[in-house]
């Protein structure tokens, strides 16, 4: 199939296309009409979605495009099931664009897989195999599965996943380009890997459950980010922790009223089995803290409250470390990925009180009540060391769109992988 050529123009479209038209068509392609100044990325994305509706597969950029303009087009064009090809402008940025595209497509494909295809074990395996393929001489992995989690003290992942016949998994991957076994660990990445979330006994509605294959978006995002950073020349030792489980109902599933005692001694009463992401992340954050990593970033499709707060175009950011949070948001601005800060204070740890344990895993009201995203972040802060210094939590409100939006195609977005990769490399 021939390529569909896309070019930019700072001239207005012909009057026949309508007043103030931002998009026109020529033989074999389309022209995006932009103002004279600025990258105009949002306008590019809106025009891209209109081109995408035509069913064109192979796109070729022609003329004078900035790398970020090409990237904005590609991210808005290549939705679930995309089988076409992108031909980038022949310039110094072409190689980096190809690298970004590879990482984005891996991340999106993983999130878009069906829950039957992607079990906790296969999620951990696919992530490990991809990272290993990028730097086989620098990568080692360890997977704890099923009962092995109990023996190692990782009770959160085990409890959430024990209702499924497909066992839960904690993947620990060590990328160590230094070759020194005692090298400092600069970063630890922690990802929520719930391959399907029924809500457990706090069962979701059919509508709410439909797209819960995307509830492992955190694991996909941190894996995609690490892979991208490696392809861009990462020299820092980085560990990856994926907390993988299916949250299902069975005669062996965890229940409301259960109490989990974590490895650090914190006891947690279960008041909502659908607040499971924070339960598995708690183990991952403790493992990351135990590793001695200087900085920890976790990512999770954690709360509907974050979506209510920032919409589905932004990811929400939480931290008790002002300097690290500012650095992270600077990376987000640099790579044009939308992230927004939401409140987190030490007292958010106390917002989910329990008369039977140190804390509950949520509040026993719909959606966790007011401030639910901050309260979830407060819960997580119990499981990182150094009073939260060196830790950033990402609630991935912008991770997935079932039917697409005016800016993004259907399925996973992979928003966040470039920001995290910039932090790793910077």
Pick the catalytic residue from 166, 192, 237, 278.
278
Rounded CA gap, 349 and 351, in Å?
6
> Any bridge partners for residue 114, and if so which?
none
Q: Is 204 one of the annotated active-site residues of the chain? A: yes
Phi (first) and psi of residue 92, to 5 degrees:
-65, -20
Pick the catalytic residue from 42, 46, 204, 341.
204
Rounded CA gap, 338 and 316, in Å?
9
Q: Is 278 one of the annotated active-site residues of the chain? A: yes
Residues serving a catalytic function are 204, 278
């Amino acid at each position: 199939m021939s390529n569909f050529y896309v070019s930019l123009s700072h001239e207005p479209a012909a009057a026949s296309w309508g007043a103030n038209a931002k998009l026109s068509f020529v033989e074999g392609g389309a022209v995006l009409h932009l103002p004279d100044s600025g990258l105009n990325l949002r306008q590019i994305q809106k025009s891209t979605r209109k081109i995408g509706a035509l069913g064109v597969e192979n796109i070729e950029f022609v003329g004078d495009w900035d790398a970020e303009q090409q990237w904005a087009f590609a991210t808005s064009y290549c939705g679930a099931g995309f089988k076409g090809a992108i031909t980038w402008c022949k310039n110094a940025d072409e190689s980096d664009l190809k690298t970004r595209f590879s990482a984005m497509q891996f991340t999106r494909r993983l999130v878009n897989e069906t829950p039957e295809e992607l079990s906790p074990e296969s999620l951990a395996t696919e992530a490990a195999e991809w990272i290993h393929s990028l730097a086989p001489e620098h990568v080692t992995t360890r997977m704890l599965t099923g009962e092995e989690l109990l023996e190692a003290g990782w009770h959160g992942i085990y409890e959430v996943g024990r209702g499924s016949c497909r066992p839960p998994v904690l993947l620990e991957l060590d990328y160590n380009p230094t070759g020194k076994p005692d090298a400092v660990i600069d970063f630890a990445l922690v990802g929520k890997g719930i391959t399907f979330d029924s809500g457990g006994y706090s069962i979701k509605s059919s509508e709410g459950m439909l797209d819960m294959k995307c509830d492992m978006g955190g694991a996909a995002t941190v894996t995609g980010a690490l892979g991208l950073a490696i392809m861009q020349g990462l020299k820092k030792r980085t560990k990856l922790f994926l907390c993988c489980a299916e949250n299902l109902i069975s005669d062996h599933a965890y229940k409301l009223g259960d109490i989990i005692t974590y490895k650090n001694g914190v006891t947690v009463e279960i008041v909502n089995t659908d607040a499971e992401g924070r339960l598995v992340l708690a183990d991952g954050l403790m493992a990351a803290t135990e590793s001695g990593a200087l900085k920890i970033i976790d990512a999770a499709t954690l709360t509907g409250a974050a979506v209510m707060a920032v919409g589905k175009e932004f990811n929400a950011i939480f931290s008790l470390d002002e300097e690290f949070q500012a650095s992270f948001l600077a990376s987000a601005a640099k790579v044009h990925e939308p992230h927004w800060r939401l409140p987190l204070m030490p007292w958010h740890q106390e917002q989910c009180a329990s008369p039977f344990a140190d804390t509950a895993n949520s509040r026993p009201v719909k959606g966790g009540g007011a401030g639910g995203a901050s309260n979830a972040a407060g819960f997580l802060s119990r499981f990182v060391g150094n009073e939260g210094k060196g830790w950033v939590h990402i609630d991935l409100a912008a991770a997935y769109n079932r039917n697409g939006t005016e800016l993004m195609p259907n399925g996973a977005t992979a928003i966040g992988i470039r920001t995290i990769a910039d932090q790793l490399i910077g």
